[in-house]
Amino acid sequence: MATEAKRVTDIGPPHFEKFLHPIIKENYGQWKFHDSLGPGLLSHTGPNGTIYSVRMSSPRLVSSNFLRMVCDLAEKYCDGYFRFTSRNNVEFLLANKDNIDPLVKEINEHGQLVGGTDNSISNIVHTQGWVHCHSSATDASGLVKVVMDELSDYFTEQKLPHKLRIAVACCLNMCGAVHASDIAILGLHRTPPRVDSDTLPNLCEIPTTVASCPNNAIRPTSVEGKTTVKVDEEKCMYCGNCFTVCPAMPLADPLNDGVSIWVGGKISNARTEPMFTKLAIPYLPNNPPRWPEVTDAVKNIVELYAANARPFERVGEWINRIGWERFFDMTGIEFTKYHLDDFRHAGTTYRRSLHNRY
Amino acid sequence: MATEAKRVTDIGPPHFEKFLHPIIKENYGQWKFHDSLGPGLLSHTGPNGTIYSVRMSSPRLVSSNFLRMVCDLAEKYCDGYFRFTSRNNVEFLLANKDNIDPLVKEINEHGQLVGGTDNSISNIVHTQGWVHCHSSATDASGLVKVVMDELSDYFTEQKLPHKLRIAVACCLNMCGAVHASDIAILGLHRTPPRVDSDTLPNLCEIPTTVASCPNNAIRPTSVEGKTTVKVDEEKCMYCGNCFTVCPAMPLADPLNDGVSIWVGGKISNARTEPMFTKLAIPYLPNNPPRWPEVTDAVKNIVELYAANARPFERVGEWINRIGWERFFDMTGIEFTKYHLDDFRHAGTTYRRSLHNRY
Amino acid sequence: MADDLKTPLLDELEKGPWPSFVTDIKTLADKSEMAKDLLRQLEKSYEDKRGYWKHGGLVGVMGYGGGVIGRYSALPEEFPGVSHFHTVRVNQPSGWFYTSDALREIIDIWDEHGSGLYNMHGSTGDMVLLGTRTEELEPTFRALTEKGWDLGGSGSDLRTPSNCVGPARCENACFDTMEMAYKITHRYQDELHRPMFNYKYKIKMSGCPNDCTAAIARSDMALIGIWKDDIKVDQAEFAKYLDDGFNVQEFVVDKCPTGCIAVEGKQINIDNSNCVKCMHCINRMPHALSVGDEKGFAINLGAKAPIVEGALFASVIVPFMSIEDYKDEDSYEEFHDLLERIWEFWDEHGTSRERIGEFIERVSLATFLEGIGVEPSPKQVKAPRDNPYIFYEEYYAEEGEG
Amino acid sequence: MADDLKTPLLDELEKGPWPSFVTDIKTLADKSEMAKDLLRQLEKSYEDKRGYWKHGGLVGVMGYGGGVIGRYSALPEEFPGVSHFHTVRVNQPSGWFYTSDALREIIDIWDEHGSGLYNMHGSTGDMVLLGTRTEELEPTFRALTEKGWDLGGSGSDLRTPSNCVGPARCENACFDTMEMAYKITHRYQDELHRPMFNYKYKIKMSGCPNDCTAAIARSDMALIGIWKDDIKVDQAEFAKYLDDGFNVQEFVVDKCPTGCIAVEGKQINIDNSNCVKCMHCINRMPHALSVGDEKGFAINLGAKAPIVEGALFASVIVPFMSIEDYKDEDSYEEFHDLLERIWEFWDEHGTSRERIGEFIERVSLATFLEGIGVEPSPKQVKAPRDNPYIFYEEYYAEEGEG
Ligand code: SRM
Ligand code: SRM
Ligand code: SRM
Ligand code: SRM
Ligand code: SF4
Ligand code: SF4
Ligand code: SF4
Ligand code: SF4
Ligand code: SF4
Ligand code: SF4
Ligand code: SF4
Ligand code: SF4
């Protein structure tokens, strides 16, 4: 492809209007209601007709071949119109209800799944992992695959009390929704950065590096006459912020890097205000390729939620209703000192009342 | 009275048993239930009988004559038995129900009131004020008197949705329950301490003085060769902690000292967890002897609470139900930047959701 | 009334239905120069809108470091009666129970040695004998001890523990607040009278979560009664509430914080596994419901007023403890051991003027629990941490390395 | 499949019902050295339990400071195909709507200039074209712009705003998320492409409080749809829910956070003055209930992940704003003015790598509001302050003094 034309910049994205299905254009801003037609199937109705959506899974990390398959299906059933969701599923947009079944069938033939709507587990929001990021304490795509293998029924069926949203992030930067998910899987380092004092003076600015540490664990020092930094290992909580600004302070440590499990966050304002995800399991080992400890832990929580929560109760709402003590009892997860907050506003998490279940 | 006997120390208080009414002794730890017999009147019943309590107001700051009056009444109606409550009321403890009416009558003849139980306003927990404390930004006993003059009906009748508890403190040390009361009146200074560098070097330890400031507003300095301190007036929030450790830093300022009004705190675990009192009115002037701005403000809040809260809803629970925006609307109190927290955990008070009433 | 007592501003406080402290103090003004000059100085404060007391002053009784608050007028020439006006704090008896005989002893002593004025009681709980001269302190003390009374605390010491009426007149009491307050006060006489802590240490005891002594808001150590088993129900009495037209649905069921009450027919059913012991249903229907049988108390630490890090409610450290026999000193061993470990750890690692609540926040709850040998429990927190900044203590090392 | 592609560990990820990224990438392994060596390096990561990427790297396209994430293999000799493996972030269209024609343009470009691998989409919302060499960056950019596509953000710049499907396919949309995202992205091209802020600035738009883009958790500026008047009710449709046996009491009434719904007979009554617009009742009964007519959005600022001060949700700054005509650039004046005042104030007083949420917490909400010229409102806080540390700015001075 020749690119000899005049170089243009700052053109921004194309206007979306040309990507909108005619039925969508005609009902734009005037939709009346939607209906759920089954797992992965929605219809939205406005004064000028109904549009059908078929939601298909996606590993998000995809190849041209995957996207071509999407285009092919869209052309065959949807006049070429489709979209992606905020959780990286594909939504085919159909004018004709009769096209739903053949489309679903063909999607399945491609080894893809239809689902993720309503009271189901939708796609896992995730990050780069060992596939692309220098910071990662675990892989992301692989974790998503093994966890969703265990939970795919909950994607293709709507058998949960309510929506359940899972996120994976591969380090504490949390490029995703880990801090506000029903269940989150977070990769973490557990040992302080190793300072490479040979390269550090050239690669990093000392004041920026020192300032990067949330816990004041980094101090300037001098090694063989060169100014570098040293880490107070007692104070380091392995957050990796120093590594972000200074490449000479890597944290990766195959023996100790691993995964933590978090529960009970939510984003929507429905019923309760948004809630942060809370620590459930401080550490599970990195055990690729299938991380059995992680999949077991997540499945255990999902199944207890499925069996015990009330209709339209999110994971965090369920736990708040039964109490954290019962959550730890039911899941068999050990409550340790690591669960007790010790950061900035730790005091606000202490139980300052008599409200307790015995 | 001669005190020639051997000096004894560390004897502690007398054992309470000798102060207990025989009916109390017999039912000790075995009480079955209580009944409310009207404002200020309670009965408690156990397997071995019933004890009647008549609750009488008290200014708390009292003279020997007041206490002699209490003793006289107790001897006449209660075999000499009585107690004080945790809110400084007097409780006469009667074996004989028939003694209630005559006792109440005689109490009233002494200019005292009976009430404070159940859904009423009980006595105001308060502090020393200009009567005894060097720190005070307002008087305490006087404020209590003028506020209770306005509200005495709510003491002698049970016409509120639920208990309403008021506290007064005369400075930020808050020697009382100001931080957890339905309504609180808090005296405050509003100008930085004036450093008396003549006396300071003799009276105060510089490091302790510097360390006392929660906002690092105090720095050592030197005036005419003597080491003293200076206050960064931008950073000072008039808390008075420096004055507590260093007498040479008085804050009293007749022009600016005054009173603030706080609402919505509670202590009990009933229904909701304990709650801190929140700022309603940042400043009202000290206007002795009857502080009309303060009594108006408090009465306004009490009357709105009385008219609008649901049964068994405390002030804070009522406000939480209707929302703070409505509270400010209803009371006509202006919402200002002073209401926005800017101390340690200020961020945790920001509204981090979409939950708002319009 | 003394001729020279002109208090036009204070006189305004003699009006109105609420009993007037001015009127009351005036009854002493003839007999007591102190009372009279207190009113006169107060009148000046009302005129000038400021107090006229000097800051503190180290006075006390022999061998005691606390119990007296020194106070001097800033205008001793003008108001000689209150040139000294020290406060004597006296231990109240458990639950503030008195007989007239006992109180008269105090009155007589204070009429002789002091101003004849009191706070009944101070916010911490003591009898506060308000105003005397330095030279009267020791005689007052002698007179008090002779009658069996002793001083309370002040400064960096244990303060007089205080307690709700509890088993003495309340069906909700889950532990013997009266006896326990007595036992603690007596056991720790030295800690009460000789300030050696980092800062003050207040203990309050409430027999149940209604917390009628405000322990959770105002004491470094709050002992608050609680039970572990089921709420006791008298179904016949419950039916009476319904029959009497009491709106159980709106006033009880709908207000239960965990929604764990159901009414079926004339029967109340409580899902006790989800009850958080808030007391509301019991409060509303004392004839029908009462606290369980397996009773004890929770230990919450760290309440305080805002100075300096902001106000704190006390937080759960030991969710449940019980004492076999409150009358038996030996039964308290577990409690005393714990309290002493707490004091030791605070003493060793706390800083001067650092209350225990601020101390726990500074060193972190996990460290504090480890320091005093208490196991972590979900009952100590509202929820587990939401930030990922975890200090791991166990990690793997290369073989040969470690 | 290429002979030398031995990935026994990754092959385990081809099992199971969920679509496998390994299987998918393998379909490219014959054509693309990059895809193949990515799998080979990943296999090594799976063996060794660690990543093999070098830290960052400053690469990009001419005149742009963002949009490309530089990435190099730490083992370039072993995996030459990914010795360079830079990411190109491309602005997604509003609401992630595509036609197959449009997407095929991208696919063709990336097959030619890059690895043929993507994240559809990145967490911020961009199309993420995953992996190419430095020398291909400029050609990729040229090819993209020729087809009307442009780069997204990275570094300390405005990131591509993203938005929920909103008016394009949702009855709940309270504002035109689609058009507004487009307008903002176009207006602030400079801010997007040339990082000059203290740190990144993300804008996300959700058409209603369901917040389907997680704006409140993941954007420095969250625009979230809201309405001011009453929820619209179709009583006939409501009756159908009852008739169909839907448990309105348990699933709706009991779950309303402010208890402001009452059902009388077949009629639903909402006390709208107490409704907090949580959406739950509307979500449960979309045929009967819908958002009001007086629609707009709230502006919440400051969400972010935990690094460094702990995670934040965005907090209310402007409780309600509306735009007359979303298609008309002039209608946005109030919004743009505000946004520019925000950036200016943050720029002037913020520090490097300080997100706006942390900035607001540091300078305090009151100062921030004053700085950007927004009035304080109880809607900005959960509750007023509970500590008494108030900085008064107005006070009285002696006459003659001031
Ligand atoms: C397509 C999508 C918007 C988009 O622009 O892409 C979308 C679309 C709808 N959402 Fe959503 N939501 C979408 C992401 C979200 C997110 C964001 C996320 O998960 O990261 C949230 C916040 C999640 C959270 O709280 O943690 C979200 C919270 C909701 C809720 C609130 C659920 C609750 O009660 O907490 C509803 C209402 C409901 O389900 O009752 C809702 C309802 C809806 C409705 C029914 C709105 C409508 O009337 O059309 C749509 C179909 C929902 C369904 O899947 O059953 N949508 N929705 C997103 C689909 C993601 C996916 O592929 O699964
Ligand atoms: C006598 C006293 C205890 C003592 O040892 O002195 C006491 C005694 C009783 N309290 Fe109390 N409370 C006493 C101070 C308190 C306090 C402390 C305070 O106010 O500083 C509280 C916490 C207040 C708060 O939450 O801010 C307190 C919160 C309660 C509650 C919880 C109310 C609520 O729903 O929030 C109840 C139960 C109720 O009233 O429903 C209660 C109930 C009771 C009962 C009914 C208990 C019983 O069965 O005997 C007693 C009679 C109450 C009444 O006045 O109607 N008591 N009660 C105190 C009387 C003070 C006074 O003179 O007014
Ligand atoms: C007398 C009393 C007020 C009253 O009118 O009842 C009182 C009076 C004083 N308190 Fe207090 N406090 C009194 C109960 C309280 C309480 C309430 C309580 O104990 O339940 C509190 C709040 C709870 C707490 O402990 O935090 C309280 C919090 C303070 C503080 C702030 C301490 C803090 O850590 O935030 C100070 C300042 C200090 O300790 O230096 C203080 C300091 C003082 C001093 C000693 C003034 C000073 O700066 O040195 C006051 C002497 C006044 C005087 O001239 O008599 N007082 N003080 C109360 C003690 C009487 C008694 O023994 O029964
Ligand atoms: C690609 C992407 C993850 C993904 O797989 O989707 C990503 C990838 C990176 N993020 Fe991110 N972030 C991505 C969305 C996010 C999000 C989610 C969001 O935007 O909704 C967050 C959390 C929300 C937030 O902004 O706080 C996020 C929080 C971070 C942080 C922590 C920032 C903070 O203030 O706490 C960092 C560290 C930093 O900025 O230095 C970071 C840094 C990074 C860097 C640039 C690594 C670094 O240290 O320099 C990663 C490059 C990975 C790579 O090799 O490609 N990334 N990052 C997302 C961007 C794609 C896109 O443009 O669409
Ligand atoms: S979460 Fe960490 S490791 Fe994962 S993509 Fe983001 S910055 Fe990289
Ligand atoms: S990893 Fe985090 S805590 Fe440890 S030194 Fe680096 S910045 Fe500081
Ligand atoms: S609140 Fe302040 S002024 Fe009042 S008694 Fe306590 S220390 Fe003194
Ligand atoms: S009054 Fe408080 S804030 Fe002001 S200087 Fe003194 S200690 Fe600091
Ligand atoms: S705290 Fe409980 S036990 Fe004590 S008096 Fe109050 S209600 Fe009774
Ligand atoms: S004590 Fe409170 S939580 Fe327990 S059942 Fe009664 S109202 Fe519910
Ligand atoms: S945020 Fe609201 S308007 Fe947008 S898609 Fe979700 S439900 Fe619809
Ligand atoms: S939107 Fe939420 S708060 Fe409003 S009426 Fe419906 S359920 Fe209640």
DSSP D116-142: SEEEES-TTS-EEEE---HHHHHHHHH
The single residue listed with the structure tokens 């509430």 is C241
For chain D, give the number of residues. Answer: 402
DSSP state of D73: B
Q: In the structure encoding, which two tokens stand for residue C216, read together?
A: 């959770």
User: Given an 8 Å threshold on Cβ–Cβ distance, is D389 in contact with C306?
Assistant: yes
Q: Cβ contacts of residue A330 below 8 Å, gap of 6+?
A: A304, A308, A322
Whether the CB-CB separation of A256 and A238 falls below 8 Å is answered with: no
Q: What subunits make at least 3 CB pairs under 8 angstroms with C?
A: A, B, D
- Contact between residue D389 and residue C311 where contact means Cβ atoms under 8 Å apart: no
β-pairing verdict for A81-84 and A61-63? unpaired
* Residue B276 phi, psi (nearest 5): -75, 155
Ligand 8, atom 4, lies closest to the CA of: B236
The pTM assigned to this predicted structure is 0.96
Q: Cβ neighbours of residue A129 under 8 Å, at least 6 residues apart?
A: A136, A138, A139, A140, A141, A142, A143, A170, A187, D51
Q: How far is CA C10 from the centre of its chain?
A: 32
B255 touches chain D (CB under 8 A): yes
Q: Edge-to-edge strands of the sheet including B278-285?
A: B166-169, B183-188, B258-263, B278-285
Ligand nearest to the CA of B44: 2
Q: Which of D224, D316, D385 sits opposite B341 (nearest CB)?
A: D385
CB A185 within 8 A of CB A168: yes
The C-alpha atoms of residue C137 and residue C69 are separated, in whole angstroms, by 11
**SS3 of A332, please?**
coil
How far apart are the C-alpha atoms of D25 and D115, rounded to whole Å?
10
What is the reported pLDDT for B291? 98
Percent of chain B having pLDDT more than 70? 99
State the alpha helices, DSSP H only, in chain A: 22-27, 64-77, 100-109, 141-156, 200-203, 206-212, 241-245, 292-308, 315-322, 324-331
DSSP string spanning C285-328?
-TTTEE--SSEEEEEEE--B-STTT--B--EEEEEEE--S-TT-
Calculate mean pLDDT across residues D184-204: 97
Average pLDDT, chain D: 96
- Give start and end residues of each alpha helix (H) in D244-381: 248-251, 280-284, 333-349, 356-363, 365-372
Q: Which two tokens stand for residue C103?
A: 């109180």
A284 membership: H or E segment, kind and range: strand A278-285
**CA C202–ligand 3 middle distance (angstroms):** 11
* pLDDT for res A5: 67
Q: Which helix (H) or strand (E) holds D270?
A: strand D267-270
| Residue C214: per-residue pLDDT | 98
Q: Is the dihedral of CA A143, D35, A171, B353 positive or negative?
A: negative
Residue D77 has pLDDT above 50, yes or no: yes
- CATH fold, domain D162-228+294-394, is Sulfite Reductase Hemoprotein; domain 1 (3.30.413)
Distance CA B148, CA B146 (A): 6
The pLDDT, as a whole number, for residue D3 is 58
Task: Name residue D205's beta-bridge partners.
Answer: D163, D223
pLDDT in tens, B117-127: 999 999 999 99
Please report which confidence band the pLDDT of residue B305 belongs to, taking 50, 70 and 90 as the band edges.
Answer: very high
Which residue type occupies A353?
S
**Element housing B319 (H / E):** helix B315-322
- Asked if B172 lies within 8 A of D377 by C-beta distance, the reply is no
Taking the CA atoms of D89, D90, D93 and D96 in sequence, report the sign of the dihedral they define: negative
Amino acid at B312: F
Assigned architecture for domain D8-146 = 2-Layer Sandwich (3.30)
Residues forming beta bridges with residue C269, ordered by sequence position:
C262
SS3 call for B82: strand
Max Cα separation, chain D? 94
- Atom 6 of ligand 6, nearest CA residue: A242
Predicted confidence (pLDDT) per residue in D111-130, tens digit: 999 999 999 999 999 999 99
The model's confidence at residue B110, banded by pLDDT at 50, 70 and 90, is: very high
Q: What pLDDT does residue C402 have?
A: 37
Residue A282 with chain C: CB contacts under 8 Å: 390, 392
Q: Is D258 exposed, middle or buried (0-12, 13-18, 19+ CB in 10 A)?
A: middle
- In the prediction, which pLDDT does D2 show? 47
* CA atoms C51, C52, C54, C56: torsion sign: negative
Q: Which ligand is nearest to the CA of C53?
A: 3
Q: What size, in residues, is chain C?
A: 402
Cβ contacts of A202-211, under 8 Å, gap ≥ 24: A203/A246, A203/A247, A203/A248, A204/A245, A204/A246, A204/A247, A204/A248, A204/A249, A205/A245, A205/A246, A208/A245, A208/A246, A208/D352, A209/A242, A209/A245, A209/A246, A209/A249
Helix count and strand count (H, E) for chain C: 14, 14
Q: What is the pLDDT of residues A202-211, one digit of tens each?
A: 999 999 999 9
The verdict on C386 touching A (C-beta cutoff 8 Å) is: yes
Q: Flag the least confident range among B77-91, C228-242, D199-213, D382-396.
A: D382-396
Residue D308 has what pLDDT?
85
pLDDT of residue A53: 98
Distance CA D99, CA A81 (A): 5
- Residues 6 or more apart whose CB falls under 8 angstroms from that of A295 comprise A146, A147, A149, A150
Q: What DSSP line would sit under A194-238, residue for residue? A: PP-TTTHHHH--HHHHHHH-TT--EEEEEETTEEEEEE-TTT---
Amino acid (1-letter code) at residue C157: D
Residue D401 pLDDT greater than 70, yes or no: no
Residue ranges of domains in chain D: 8-146, 162-228+294-394, 232-290
Provide the 8-state DSSP code for B179: G
The single-letter DSSP state of residue C92 is P
DSSP string, C328-382: -GGGGHHHHHHHHHHHHHHHHH--TT--HHHHHHHH-HHHHHHHHT----GGGBS
Q: Within chain C, which residues score under 70 in pLDDT?
A: 1-3, 399-402
Give domain D232-290's CATH architecture.
2-Layer Sandwich (3.30)
Q: State how far the alpha carbon of A354 is from the alpha carbons of A265, A325, A357, C381, in Å.
A: 24, 14, 9, 11
pLDDT at A113 over 60: yes
- Please list every residue in chain A whose beta carbon sits closer than 8 Å to the beta carbon of residue C370: 337
Same topology, domains C162-228+294-394 and C232-290? Answer is no
User: What backbone phi and psi angles, to 5 degrees, belong to D271?
Assistant: -85, 90
Point out which residues pair with C316 in neighbouring strands.
C300
State the chains in contact with D (3 or more Cβ–Cβ pairs under 8 Å).
A, B, C
Phi, psi dihedral angles at D254 (to 5 degrees):
-70, -20
- Whether the CB-CB separation of A254 and D50 falls below 8 Å is answered with yes
Beta-carbon separation of D214 and A10 below 8 A:
no
Instruction: Return d(Cα B301, Cα B331) in angstroms, integer.
Output: 7
pLDDT in tens, A82-104: 999 999 999 999 999 999 999 99
DSSP assignment letter at B124: P
Judge contact between C90 and C126, C-beta under 8 A: yes
What is the spatial distance between Cα C156 and Cα C146, in angstroms, rounded to a whole number?
26
The whole-number pLDDT of residue B177 equals 80
Residues B104, B116: Cα–Cα separation, whole Å: 14
Encode pLDDT of B19-57 as tens digits.
Answer: 999 999 999 999 999 999 999 999 999 999 999 999 999
- CA B49 to chain CA centroid, Å, is 35
Nearest to A72 by CA among D134, D107, B139, D171: D107
Interface of C with B in 353-372 (CB under 8 A): 353
Q: Are D115 and D153 in contact (CB under 8 A)?
A: no
Mean pLDDT to the nearest integer, D288-293: 98
Closest chain B residue to the Cα of A345, Cα to Cα: B345
Distance of CA C185 from the midpoint of ligand 9 (Å): 20
Instruction: Looking at the CA of residue D164, tell me the nearest atom of ligand 11.
Output: 4
- CB-nearest partner of B343 from D319, D380, D389: D389
Smallest Cα distance from D334 to chain C, Å: 37
DSSP state, A29? T
Instruction: Give, for ligand 3, the residue of C124, C154, C158 to mutate: max count of ligand atoms closer than 8 Å to Cβ.
Output: C124
